[in-house]
C-alpha cells in the first residue's frame, strides 16, 4: 500500500508549493486539509488553488459545501479516507496538505467519541458503590460491556465508574467507542508525515502580511461582498 504523505504547517509556510512539487515528483493527488477551503465561494480568502492547477493535479475536499452549512472533523475524516482509498486504487500517492490540525488529528488518530464527565452521574455511581460495593458494579459492567470489564479488576473504582458513565451518557459500550477510533487509524494505512516549521517567525509574519496584501489586490473585498449577497451569513456560522 502506498503511504499517504501528510504535509502540515502554519499559514504561509509553503505547504501548497511543497504539495504540488511532491505531487509532480511522485505522481500524487492532493487532499486539502483546510477547514475553510471546503466552502464554496470562499476562494481568495482561503488561498484555494486556481482552476489551472486543479486541472493539472487532482485536488479533493475543496468546494464541498456552502458557507451556511456545517462540516465536522468527523465528516472530514470520513471524506478524506474515501478520497485516499480512491487515489490509492489508481496507483497514485495521496498527499494531504493543510493547516487544520484538528482534521489531521481526526484522520490520523481518530476522534474520541467519548462523552465528557458528568458530575451528577458520577456522584450517583459513587453512591451505588458505597451501598453495593465496586465488585457489584463491575459485575454490572460485565453484562453491559464484557470486553472492558475483562480488562478491569473488580476494585478498579475509577475505571469502572468511567465505563458505566460512558454507557449511561452515550448509550454505547466504552469498548465499542474505542474500537471505532482504532478502525479510523487503521483505515489511513502507512503515512509519511512532514511538518513545515519556520525557523524565523518574523519572516513568517511578513509572508502572512504579503499574502493578505495579495488577496486584497486580487479582489478579496468584492468576494466577501458577493458572499454576503448570496448567503444569509451570520457570525455564529462555522464558516465565519
Q: What pLDDT digit, counting tens, does each position of 52-81 carry? A: 999 999 999 999 999 999 888 888 998 999
Is residue 34 a contact partner of residue 46, using CB atoms and an 8 Å limit?
Answer: yes
Confidence at 30, pLDDT banded by 50, 70, 90 = very high
Note whether 208 and 102 are same-domain residues.
yes
Query: How many domains would you assign to the chain?
Result: 2
| Between 1 and 211, residue with greater pLDDT | 211
For residue 168, pLDDT beyond 80: yes
Q: Within a 10 A sphere around the Cβ of 104, how many other Cβ atoms?
A: 21
The model's confidence at residue 25, banded by pLDDT at 50, 70 and 90, is: very high
Q: Which residues pair with 8 in a beta bridge?
A: 98, 195
The answer as to whether 185 is a domain residue is: no
C-beta of residue 81 within 8 angstroms of C-beta of residue 188: yes
Look at residue 2 and tell me whether its pLDDT is greater than 90: no
Indicate if 134 and 76 belong to the same structural domain.
no
Average pLDDT of every residue of the chain = 93
Are both 105 and 210 inside the same structural domain? Answer: yes
Going by pLDDT thresholds of 50, 70 and 90, the confidence category of residue 40 is: very high
Identify the pLDDT of residue 178. Answer: 80
Average pLDDT over residues 160-188: 85
187 pLDDT exceeds 90? no
pLDDT at 191: 95
**What CATH number is given to the structural domain containing 163?**
1.10.20.140
Instruction: Kindly list the distances between the CA atom of residue 138 and the CA atoms of 15, 25, 36, 61, in Å, as whole numbers in the listed order.
Output: 50, 56, 46, 45
Chain Cα centroid distance, residue 36: 13
Count of CB atoms situated within 10 Å of the CB of 4: 24
pLDDT of 183 over the 90 cut? no
What cell was used for 29? 493527488
Give the Cα separation of 37 and 228 in Å (integer): 17
- 55, 20: one domain: yes
Q: Are 23 and 95 in contact (CB under 8 A)?
A: yes
What are the start-end ranges of the E strands in the chain?
4-8, 28-33, 59-60, 93-98, 191-195
Note down the domain range covering 144. Answer: 119-177
Percent of all residues in the chain with a pLDDT value above 90, rounded to a whole number: 80
Query: Which grid coordinates belong to 32?
Result: 486539502
Report the pLDDT value the prediction gives residue 113, as an integer from 0 to 100.
Answer: 67
- What is the reported pLDDT for 235? 85
Q: Note whether residue 184 is domain-resident.
A: no
d(Cα 89, Cα 78) in Å, to the nearest integer?
A: 17
Beta bridge partners of 195: 8
Bridge partners of residue 4, in order along the sequence: 191
| Same domain (yes/no): 38, 99 | yes
Mean pLDDT of 87-113: 91
Tallying the residues shown for the chain, one arrives at 240
Residues 87, 206, single domain; the answer is: yes
Amino acid at each position: 500500500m502506498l503511504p499517504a504523505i501528510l504535509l502540515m504547517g502554519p499559514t504561509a509556510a509553503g505547504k501548497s508549493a511543497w504539495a504540488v512539487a511532491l505531487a509532480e515528483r511522485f505522481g500524487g493527488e492532493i487532499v486539502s486539509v483546510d477547514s475553510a477551503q471546503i466552502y464554496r465561494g470562499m476562494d481568495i480568502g482561503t488561498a484555494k488553488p486556481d482552476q489551472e492547477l486543479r486541472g493539472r493535479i487532482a485536488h479533493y475536499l475543496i468546494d464541498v459545501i456552502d458557507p451556511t452549512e456545517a462540516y465536522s472533523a468527523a465528516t472530514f475524516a470520513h471524506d478524506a479516507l474515501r478520497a485516499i482509498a480512491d487515489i490509492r486504487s489508481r496507483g497514485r500517492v495521496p498527499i494531504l496538505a493543510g493547516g487544520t490540525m484538528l482534521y489531521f488529528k481526526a484522520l490520523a488518530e481518530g476522534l474520541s467519541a467519548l462523552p465528557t464527565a458528568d458530575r451528577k452521574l458520577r456522584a450517583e455511581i459513587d453512591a451505588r458503590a458505597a451501598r453495593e460495593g465496586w465488585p457489584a458494579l463491575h459485575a454490572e459492567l460485565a453484562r453491559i460491556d464484557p470486553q472492558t470489564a475483562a480488562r478491569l479488576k473488580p476494585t478498579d473504582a475509577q475505571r469502572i465508574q468511567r465505563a458505566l458513565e460512558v454507557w449511561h451518557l452515550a448509550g454505547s459500550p466504552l469498548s465499542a467507542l474505542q474500537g471505532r477510533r482504532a478502525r479510523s487509524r487503521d483505515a489511513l494505512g502507512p503515512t509519511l508525515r512532514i511538518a513545515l516549521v519556520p525557523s524565523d517567525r518574523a519572516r513568517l509574519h511578513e509572508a502572512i502580511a504579503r499574502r493578505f496584501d495579495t488577496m486584497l489586490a486580487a479582489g478579496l473585498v468584492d468576494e466577501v461582498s458577493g458572499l454576503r449577497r448570496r448567503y444569509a451569513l451570520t457570525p455564529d456560522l462555522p464558516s465565519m
